[in-house]
Amino acid sequence: MHDVARMKLEIMARGIVVGRQARDVLAAVSPAGLTDADYPTTSGLTLVLPGDVYVNAPVDEWYCDHPAAELVWSPDASSFLLTAGSEDVEVRALPLPEYIATGDPDFDSVRSHGDRVRVSPISGCSCNCAFCDLNLVEYRRHDVATMVRAVRAALHDAYLPGRHVLISGGTPRPSDVGWLDSAYAALIESSPVPVDVMLMPRATTEVIDMLVAAGVCGLSINLELYGSAAATRYCRQKASVGLDGYAAAIRRAVELTGGSGRVRSLLLVGLEESTGTLAGVEFIASLGADPVLSPFRPAPGTATAHLRPPSADVMEGLYASAEKIVERYGVALGPRCVPCQHNTLAFPAE
């Protein structure tokens, strides 16, 4: 693994500290502030390292007690530098989108990460996963027309414009499934840019057919944890779907889209043994989908808030083994969108 890739892993594991002058420059650039307490793996400061390597760097978190590097501002070079020991690396720091600073409630359903605008039709979640903070938020549906307007505005944000959309957010209550499907269709059909949907498998694969017919670009059907003991412990409702349920949904999505990176399934790194995660990589890859390795990051208020992210050594070993698996199946470690790799064990294709 090259030095920049290893630096990304160290940052994901231990975070960074931001020097005072760097904070002042960032505050002057972005009216929304330094970081946004959005979702655990997207709540840091997104940096672009050499080679177009994106990383979402934790800042000011309790587990950043031995930070991997310091972000400083170099007036002479008019640029940000990451200093790690005697090494200085020039980086870009992405600002938060301008719409966050407005406090406009019409934007409650959207957040921007890299070049992606994420829209959440539902706040809260009907699931109660131990690693996720969505279930700490009051459950409510967002107005579809308001979401459509908010997405269009976010795509043209002055500070962080988007190039594609991800419909994500909480899993609906059974009574809201029909409404959510209508919201999916409306958001896809109204979007001027490609739209992906992240969703949990259902009893049948009809929703996959509907989304493809509506024009969805990609699908994320996230397994989260492969081993039954870990899955039952940390995400009981998702585990109840069973591997057969995930396989049916992923297989149908690949059949209808052709795969080639359009179907992904995320695995959390650090909450089960690496052998279990790698078995999950094999399971997903064998279905023709891209596995996505997302390192666990603790969220305040959750049952896993006291656990540290996995170490850089654990991540590097897992990445090397997973690369060999996906190569055998002709898929890739996703996501293939480079800016969207900021919180995953993935790097730009060489």
What string of DSSP letters covers 86-135? TEEEEEEEPPPPHHHHHT-GGGTTEEEETTEEEE-SEES-SS--TT-SGG
| Res 29: pLDDT | 82
Percent over 90 (pLDDT), the chain: 91
- pLDDT tens, residue by residue, 188-212: 999 999 999 999 999 999 999 999 9
| Res 33: pLDDT | 85
pLDDT band at 24 (very low <50, low <70, confident <90, very high): very high
pLDDT band at 76 (very low <50, low <70, confident <90, very high): confident
**Cα angle 115, 117, 119; round to 5:** 165
Instruction: Quote the pTM value.
Output: 0.96
Tokens representing residue 143 in the block: 């107005």
User: How many C-beta atoms surround the C-beta of residue 334 within 10 A?
Assistant: 25
Amino acid code (one letter) for 160: L
Residues whose CB is less than 8 angstroms from the CB of residue 350 and which lie 6 or more positions away in sequence, other chains included = none
| Residue 125 reports pLDDT greater than 90 | yes
Counting Cβ atoms within 10 Å, is residue 137 exposed (0-12), middle (13-18) or buried (19+)?
middle
Fold of the 199-350 domain: TIM Barrel (3.20.20)
Mean pLDDT in the chain? 95
Domain boundaries, the chain: 3-93, 102-196, 199-350
**DSSP label at 42?**
G
User: How many C-beta atoms surround the C-beta of residue 80 within 10 A?
Assistant: 21
Residues listed for the chain:
350
| Residue 127 reports pLDDT greater than 90 | yes
| Residue 85 reports pLDDT greater than 90 | no
| Residue 86 reports pLDDT greater than 80 | no
Tokens representing residue 276 in the block: 């279990």
User: Nearest Cα to 179, choosing from 135, 121, 223, 218?
Assistant: 121
pLDDT band at 39 (very low <50, low <70, confident <90, very high): confident
Give the mean pLDDT of 138-151: 97
| Residue 151 reports pLDDT greater than 80 | yes
Give the mean pLDDT of 97-117: 94
Give the mean pLDDT of 83-90: 88
